Amino acid sequence: MIAKMQTIKALLSGARSVAVLTGAGVSAESGVPTFRDDGGLWKERRAEELARSEAFFRAPELVWEFYNWRRALVEKCDPNPAHYALAALEKQVPEMLLITQNVDGLHQKAGSENVLELHGSLWRLRCTVCVHEEENLEELPPLPACPKCGHLLRPGVVWFGEQLPAGILSTALDTVGKVDVMLVVGTSSVVQPAASLAHVAKRAGAVTIEVNLEPTHNTGFMDFALHGKAGEILPELIEGI
C-alpha cells in the first residue's frame, strides 16, 4: 500500500488536470447514510423506490417525508477529512473539477469551489408545474407549495429514470475526456451514467484511481485501487503534494 500511495502522490503532484467523482461513501464519515450499505436508507425502504417521480406523484407526502428527513439529518452533518482533503487538492492542482453524485452539499461546505452536482441537491427545490426554482435551507411543510403558482414543489434532485441536466452531463463527459488523472472516491459505481465517467477517462488516456471502502464493479479496470476509509486515505494522499 505504501509504494502505491507514493506512486499515486507523485501522479497527483505532477498532474496538470484532475477530475474527481465522488459518491455517498465520501460523506459516510460525516454521518450521512449511504445508499447501498446496511440494506436500506430509510424505514427499510430503498432509495431506488423513493427517489423516482412515479413514487412522488403517487405518494408525495411519503416522498417529501423521506426528503425532509434527509434534509434535517444532513443539515446537522459537517464535512469530514475526505471533503477537506479534496478542497485542498483543488488548490494544489492547476485544473480540477469535482463531480459529485451526492446531493448533501458537503463538498461546498468544506470549501470546494469547482463542483458539478450530477444528481442535483437536497437544498434546491423546483416547481412541478412552472419554472420556479429556489435554494432553500429552511424546514419545509409536509407538502411545500410554489410561491409563484401555488402548485407542489419537488426536491431539486435527479430521480431514477430522469435524465441528468443536459449541460451537467456534457460538462462532466468533456472534462473526464481530457484530464491527466481521474480519482473515483466512495461510490459503488452502480448508478449510471456516473459510473461510466471513469471508463471515458481511461479510454481518453487518464490514469484512473479508485478510493473506496471495498472493491466495486469498476475496481477491475482502474489503474490503482486503494481500499479503506476515504477520510483516512485522502488526507494521506493529498498531504505534501
| Least distance to Zn ion, CB of residue 153, Å | 7
C-alpha–C-alpha distance, residues 113 and 115, integer Å: 6
Q: How many CB atoms lie within 10 A of CB 169?
A: 18
| Least distance to ligand BV8, CB of residue 181, Å | 18
Find out whether 141 and 65 touch, Cβ atoms under 8 Å: no
Candidates 11, 12, 20, 23; binder of ligand BV8 (CB under 6 A) is: 23
Q: Which residue numbers are catalytic?
A: 119
Which residues in 124-183 contact ligand BV8 (CB under 6 A)?
Answer: 157-163
Nearest by Cα to 239 from 12, 79, 3, 61: 12
Find out whether 27 and 135 touch, Cβ atoms under 8 Å: no
Q: Between 111 and 165, whose beta carbon lies closer to ligand BV8?
A: 165
Nearest by Cα to 106 from 69, 137, 133, 75: 75
| Least distance to ligand BV8, CB of residue 94, Å | 26
Q: Is 125 in the site for Zn ion (CB under 5 A)?
A: no
Nearest by Cα to 118 from 66, 192, 198: 192
| Least distance to ligand BV8, CB of residue 190, Å | 5
Q: What is 57-119 written as a DSSP string?
A: HH-HHHHHHHHHHHHHHHHT----HHHHHHHHHHHHSSEEEEEE---S-HHHHTT--SEEETT
Q: Considering only 85-93, 100-108, 171-179, 218-226, which stretch makes contact with ligand BV8 by CB under 6 A?
A: 100-108
Residue 44 cell numbers, joined = 427499510
Q: Between 81-92 and 230-238, two packed helices, what is the crossing angle to 10 degrees? A: 20
Q: How many CB atoms lie within 10 A of CB 35?
A: 18
Candidates 130, 137, 143, 204; binder of Zn ion (CB under 5 A) is: 130
| Least distance to Zn ion, CB of residue 131, Å | 8
Q: Is 27 in the site for ligand BV8 (CB under 6 A)?
A: no
> What is the per-residue binding string for ligand BV8 in 56-95, x denoting contact by CB under 6 A?
----------------------------------------
Q: Is 91 in the site for Zn ion (CB under 5 A)?
A: no
Q: Is 32 in the site for ligand BV8 (CB under 6 A)?
A: no
- Site residues for ligand BV8 per CB under 6 A: 23-25, 28-29, 34-37, 47-48, 51, 101-103, 119, 157-163, 186-188, 190-193, 212-214, 216, 229-231
- Site residues for Zn ion per CB under 5 A: 127, 130, 132, 146, 148-149, 151
